[in-house]
Amino acid sequence: MKIAKLIMCAAVALMAAVSCSSKKEAPKVLVLYYSQTSNTKTVATEIATRLNADIEEIALVEPYDTAFQATIDRCKADREKGILPEIKPLKSNVADYDVVFIGYPVWFGTYAPPMASLLDKVDLSGKKVVPFCTFGSGGLESSMKDLAAKQPNAEILPGYGVRAARMDAVPKEVEQFLTVSGFIEGAYVLPEDFPEQHPVSADEAAIFDAAVDGYPMLHAKAIAAAKRTIPEGSEYLFTAQDLPREDKPDMPPAGELKVYVTVENGKNPVFTKVVR
């Protein structure tokens, strides 16, 4: 109970930092997003609904092909030419908002090209910017660094990311994220910090292998682990060694990875993100 109260106080303090005072007018919030497969749209809609915020989707003048490989091929060709896709003008006036949530899928380790086009056109100086993203394995941390570099005069707040394979977790996780970030009131007990990592045990290695099984883009071996308790069960932080891929022998291993794995009570292990 004491911890819950502390977390509630922290959330209230963060909310005060955003709104200055509960007695003053609430900050005006805009949710801007680009979505290729509707996953990012799902997160954007959840955030906008809970905050009663304005929302707008970034649209391309020439939309990508709906086929995955065709989209990737076009992106690669554009990257080689150093060009970005043209986006349609925004209907929203970003200058009118205090807080801007920026949503995107992660492609090639960072925000998708349409978001790069947007960031070239808008000035977020003085705004509180909250990134959120969807991804296959990870990319929130790297995309946030790129966002901060692109908009150095904006205040980049902690962001939220979710794997495309875990979209059913979005309602609960968005509520937790907005609560901890101070945008909505409530109490949420933050987990303790991970303890120091230790050499991975056979049982822990089995948990890691089960979590990443079937995901073709992650071929790694766990070498160290740390475990902490969460309300739903346990969470592991693995350090893993990236291994050569038989299907792509010319692709060099990425070195060490940080892989987060959740084991909810009565459920199979799942990895929630990879930090490269």
Dihedral of CA 150/272/33/216: which sign?
positive
**Beta bridge partners of residue 33, listed in sequence order:** 57, 103
Q: Counting every residue, how long is the chain?
A: 276
Rounded percentage of the chain residues whose pLDDT exceeds 70: 88
Alpha carbons 23 and 214: distance in angstroms, whole number = 52
209: confidence class by pLDDT, cuts 50, 70, 90? very high
Write out 59-104 in H/E/C secondary structure: CECCCCCCCHHHHHHHHHHHHHHCCCCCECCCCCCHHHCCEEEEEE
Contact 160, 43 (CB under 8 A): yes
**Tokens 């554009």 sit on residue:** 78
The amino acid at 97: Y
* pLDDT value for 38: 96
Please give the CATH number for the structural domain made up of 2-180: 3.40.50.360
Q: What is the pTM of this model?
A: 0.88
* pLDDT value for 163: 98
Of 5-19, 96-110, 113-127, 235-249, which gets the smallest average pLDDT? 5-19
pLDDT at 253 over 90: no
Contact 248, 242 (CB under 8 A): no
Q: Which residues contact 163 (CB under 8 A, 6 or more apart)?
A: 134, 135, 136, 137, 271, 272, 273
Q: How many other β-carbons are positioned within 10 Å of the β-carbon of residue 134?
A: 30
The amino acid at 30: L
Q: Let me know if 76 is exposed, middle or buried by CB neighbors in 10 A (0-12, 13-18, 19+).
A: exposed
pLDDT at 26 over 90: no
pLDDT per position as a tens digit, 78-115: 999 999 999 999 999 999 999 999 999 999 999 999 99
Q: Give the mean model confidence (pLDDT) for residues 48-59.
A: 98
**Beta bridge partners of residue 220, listed in sequence order:** 242
* pLDDT value for 249: 60
Contact 163, 191 (CB under 8 A): no
- Over its C-alpha atoms, the chain yields an Rg (Å, rounded) of 20
Higher-confidence residue of 250 and 220: namely 220
Q: Which residues contact 151 (CB under 8 A, 6 or more apart)?
A: 119, 123, 124, 125, 129
Q: Which residues contact 54 (CB under 8 A, 6 or more apart)?
A: 28, 29, 30, 31, 48, 92, 97
